[in-house]
Amino acid sequence: MELTYYSDYAVRLVNTEEPARNKDALTSVEAVRELFGANQQAARRTTDADVTRFRSVRARLRAVFEAADGDDETLAVDLLNSLLLEFPVSPQISGHDVRDEDGRPDWHMHLADHPSNATAGYAAIAAMGLAFHLTEHGVDRLGLCEALPCRNAYLDTSTNRSRRYCSDRCATRANVAAYRARKREEAERTGRSAETAQPSTADSDR
């Protein structure tokens, strides 16, 4: 498993909120536990207090994406470094129960956390994963969806660094909106041209 995989933890958490729509899905212990995915052992540590703590970490992770989206590379790194210092992890070699074709363990790097609470564990993995993604692919690979009012976070893994939207749905919606805007402009230009070409009443009476 590539360590950049853990960057998805950051995206999942950030996207539990849609500020422009005043929506927040992070309202219960169950919602927090869902963020852990298959990591049920870590999810079971979640308590009511983690809901507020997760929201605080979410705001700090969103700030990283906002800085990157605003081309403030230094600020994005500084914000991420502060999270890494506050929520450290211990890299370990892990094989779990996965075996290769020769029956040997499929060894890979794993981020082991030793948290005092569920938030600390999740934040450590999310921050480290995002750090690996940033250093391997570049700060400009951290983005916020351009399809207003969405602004969901995403990780650009395209070959030509061309991603602008968090999903195909948002990309389609933005393209349709742009198409309709062009059509309106064309119609307005055509209307203005027709008015300019039409002779005035005074000219018609001559």
pLDDT one-digit tens code per residue, 80-92: 999 999 998 877 7
Q: Are 39 and 126 in contact (CB under 8 A)?
A: no
d(CA 27, CA 44): 17
CA angle 68-132-101, nearest 5°? 140
d(CA 70, CA 79): 14
Element (H, E) at 155: strand 153-155
pTM of the model: 0.79
Residue 154, strand partner residues: 143
Report the pLDDT value the prediction gives residue 1, as an integer from 0 to 100: 43
Q: Are 173 and 147 in contact (CB under 8 A)?
A: yes
Spans of the chain below 70 pLDDT: 1-3, 96-98, 112-115, 191-206
Tracing tokens 């600020």 back to the chain, one arrives at 75
The tens digit of pLDDT for each residue in 126-153 reads 999 999 999 999 999 999 999 989 999 9
Over the range 148-186, which residues count as b (16 or more CB within 10 Å of their CB) and which as e?
A: eebbbbbbbeeeeeebebbeeebbeebeeeeeeeeeeee
Smallest Cα–Cα separation from 80: which of 54, 66, 60?
60
